[in-house]
Amino acid sequence: MFYEAADWHTWLRTEDADRFVKVHAWPAESFYFSAIPENENDICSEFLNFIAQSANTLSVMRQFSAIGDDIFNLSASLAKLPIFHSSSTAAHGSSRLAATEVEYILFICRSVFDLLQEVIKSLWETILLIDTTVKKKELAKSFADMALHGNKPRAAEEITKKYGLPLPLAECYEGHAPMFLKIRQFRDDLVHRGHRVQTIFHGETGFFITNSLGSFRDINIWRETEVVANGLAPLAPVLNLIIHGTLAACEDFAITLNRTFKWFEPTVPGMKLHMRGYHVQHLRRAFSDADSRLGEGRSLIAGVRHSPA
């Protein structure tokens, strides 16, 4: 599917695997190639664009599709939370709905990190090193095994020594391990360690959490005007920063991989892969909010690396 010269060009495979036919159609929830987005709400993931354009191998197609689905699902979850808030008259009931959706968002973000690691592992196996004296080592299957030693991030130098990766790629693991740990901590605190779902409150303008509980204690993400009585603060900025941090990790790895190794020529020169979905505008708003807070020096983790999503 392509958008070019103010028109859609869509091709579908026929029963003959080598034959395509052009149809009159445009995307509702799908990917398309274009020099610019057809709609201001459409998004471009540099990670997915890198795979589609330069690292388009069969070994990563499943992960490519899965991460694309996860991005669409995250946008849908962000769209559901305001619906839960506005459609429910029972505050406690809507809080339960919000809690299950928050758990799902955290689960998806954790999953994206492991899918990202599967992609890196598969691509690393295809790379031929110029220096034949350097022996390539097999990478770990999970992001946690690559980036963590116990519950602490590995230093980039340790990752380079253990796996033989170039230092810029090892620095990506070191830089994004704190966000991975924070996602795991949030999920454990909300679900598995006794912090009951009543810690998500139904407020007048949205869902709130207490800013002095467990993993949410003393994180500098809220503006003074956002904190209300009893130390309650809006939930949305937390989710926005978590999603932003997860997808920024994918972008950072894609940019680093692209700069560090030589890849295939672009599949579609002069264009990028864009995403259109029913709810991606909610994802755009989340990115904008997270970027503005990071620009103010606010973060879930002090010193975390981030890239514009």
- Mapped onto helix, strand or coil, the DSSP state of residue 68 is helix
pLDDT mean across residues, the chain? 89
pTM of the model: 0.91
Q: Which pLDDT tens digit goes with each residue over 19-77?
A: 999 999 999 999 999 999 999 999 999 999 999 999 999 999 999 999 999 999 999 99
Pairing of strands 2-4, 7-13: antiparallel
Checking if the pLDDT of 99 tops 50, the result is yes
| Residue 1 near residue 30 (C-beta atoms within 8 A) | yes
Q: Please say whether the beta carbons of 166 and 260 come within 8 A.
A: yes
**CA angle, residues 257, 144, 141, in degrees to nearest 5:** 65
E strands, 14-149, in order:
20-23, 30-34, 148-149
- pLDDT above 70: residue 201: yes
Q: What integer is the mean pLDDT of 201-229? A: 81
Q: What is the pLDDT of residues 246-301, one digit of tens each?
A: 999 999 999 999 999 999 999 999 999 999 999 999 999 999 999 999 999 999 88
Residue ranges of E strands in 107-162: 148-149, 152-153
Residue ranges of the domains in the chain?
59-266+279-295
pLDDT at 215: 64
Q: pLDDT confidence of 213, banded at 50, 70, 90?
A: low
Q: Residue 306's pLDDT band (boundaries 50, 70, 90)?
A: very low
pLDDT band at 307 (very low <50, low <70, confident <90, very high): very low
pLDDT of 308 over the 80 cut: no
Which of 193, 194, 230 is closest to 209 using CA atoms? Answer: 230
CB 221 within 8 A of CB 304: no
DSSP 174-200: HHHHHHHHHHHHHHIIIIISS--GGGE
Q: Which two tokens stand for residue 47?
A: 């990670």
Instruction: Give the three-state DSSP class for 285.
Output: helix
Nearest Cα to 222, choosing from 304, 157, 292, 155?
A: 292
For residue 52, give Cα distances in angstroms to 55, 58, 132, 244.
6, 11, 29, 21
Q: What is the pLDDT of residue 214?
A: 61
Pairing of strands 272-276, 7-13: unpaired
